[in-house]
Amino acid sequence: MPSETEASASSATEVRALLGDYAKMLRLRGDRTVLLGREALATLEKLASAKDIARPAAQASLSSTTVRPQTQPQGHAMSLAPVAPVQRVAPQQDASPDRKASPAPAEPAASPSSSPRAPVAQGSESKAERLEALRKIVTPCRLCEHLAASRTQTVFGVGNPDCDIMFVGEAPGADEDKQGEPFVGAAGQLLTKMIAAMGITRADVYIANVLKCRPDMPAGASGNRKPQPAEMRTCLPYLQEQIAIIQPKVLVALGLTAIEGLRGVQPGTITLSKMRGQFTEFEGIPLMPTFHPAYLLRNQAITEKRKAWEDLMKVMKVAGLPISERQRNYFLAK
């Protein structure tokens, strides 16, 4: 059994690694200040006072990110993710002559759905290269230790970085956790057919989830569970960065849980029946809430299929896709 000193050293090393990885993502976004709750700050101060922490290394990993205490405590402060609004300031000028600093956006609002898009460092990198850099940060993420312990792998996202349409689900299931790609099970197969009905393919769009890890299940249990709000809040910055890099013309939220995760609202606050079919916005991008493919597999009523198809036709219009007369008549009762 490890001694208390050895356990403390191991804990401090893990926390330092997490802070370093998270600081990299913040720099990609252009953030330099993160607000932490009192409990999180107290924990960091306790770890920082441990003899085993190499202060120069820790300071180097956070050289462009300032951690400030919050005046109001947050319910999920220990996640080390920017659950609270992030104070964004103009990033420091990069030494590279072909890289320009992003301008400082307006002060963010409290709701994630209405906050300004996070500035992304612009340079010679392609969208695919910037997504790959983000993937390398997401892959070893352990901000949700219980999810990291139970997952097979993180499920980052797949598709065309230059797409006009981006689909967002809630979290990976068992099939996705195994294969490392979102929407590959039965619901994913139906989503592929829905995309094909729009006259495009999966290779033309981008598909991701709010949560990058499969929600853990009790030992021996089958199926999938709904992600918790705190889990989605922790992981949301990764999705925000994906969206900011891709810059799609329109977003499609698949199911109520995906909407709750994007908007940062508690379960029961909103209903899909009132939201679907009407565009809202996420960081300035049109967002269409619609049914999750799994719901359409459970409910085969043609009226429900028609509702989902009408949502997708509105998405097609925003994306500039042609809609034929035949497509307009899909799933109409005869």
Q: What is the pLDDT of residues 195-214, one digit of tens each?
A: 999 999 999 999 999 999 99
pLDDT at residue 220, rounded to an integer: 78
Residues comprising the chain, all counted:
334
- Rounded Cα distance between 160 and 8, Å, is 44
- Rounded Cα distance between 175 and 182, Å, is 9
CA–centroid distance for 62 within its chain: 22
Provide the CATH number for the domain around residue 276: 3.40.470.10
How many structural domains compose the chain?
Answer: 1
Residue 163 located in a structural domain: yes
Residue 109 located in a structural domain: no
| Structural contact between residues 282 and 113, judged by C-beta atoms closer than 8 angstroms | yes
For 49-94, where are the alpha helices, taking DSSP H only? 55-61
Q: pLDDT tier at 11 (50, 70, 90 boundaries)?
A: low
Residue 315 located in a structural domain: yes
Q: Note down the domain range covering 309.
A: 125-328+330-334
Residue 282 located in a structural domain: yes
pLDDT at residue 46, rounded to an integer: 58
Residue 85 located in a structural domain: no
Residue 178 located in a structural domain: yes
The whole-model pTM stands at: 0.69
* Burial class, 218, CB count within 10 angstroms (exposed 0-12 / middle 13-18 / buried 19+): exposed
Q: pLDDT tier at 41 (50, 70, 90 boundaries)?
A: low
| Arithmetic mean of pLDDT, 243-268 | 96
Of the listed ranges 27-41, 132-146, 236-250, the one predicted with least confidence = 27-41
| Structural contact between residues 29 and 241, judged by C-beta atoms closer than 8 angstroms | yes
pLDDT at 235 over 60: yes
Give me the residue label for tokens 């989902």. Answer: 308
The DSSP string of 248-301 is -SEEEEESHHHHHHHHT--TTS--HHHHTTS-EEETTEEEEEE--HHHHHH---
Residue 169 located in a structural domain: yes
Summarised one tens digit per residue, pLDDT across range 103-160 is: 333 333 333 333 333 344 456 789 999 999 999 999 999 999 999 999 999 999 999 9
- Rounded Cα distance between 292 and 190, Å, is 10
Of the listed ranges 86-95, 160-169, 204-213, 268-277, the one predicted with least confidence = 86-95
pLDDT at residue 334, rounded to an integer: 75
pLDDT at 300 over 60: yes
pLDDT at 318 over 50: yes
β-partners of residue 288 are 252
Residue 36 located in a structural domain: no
Calculate the average pLDDT of the chain.
Answer: 77
- Residue 119 makes CB contacts below 8 A (sequence gap 6+) with 29, 30, 88, 91, 102, 103, 104, 105, 244
- Residue 250 makes CB contacts below 8 A (sequence gap 6+) with 164, 165, 166, 285, 286, 287, 288, 315, 318, 319
Summarised one tens digit per residue, pLDDT across range 174-197 is: 999 999 999 999 999 999 999 999
β-partners of residue 158 are 207
- Rounded Cα distance between 98 and 277, Å, is 43
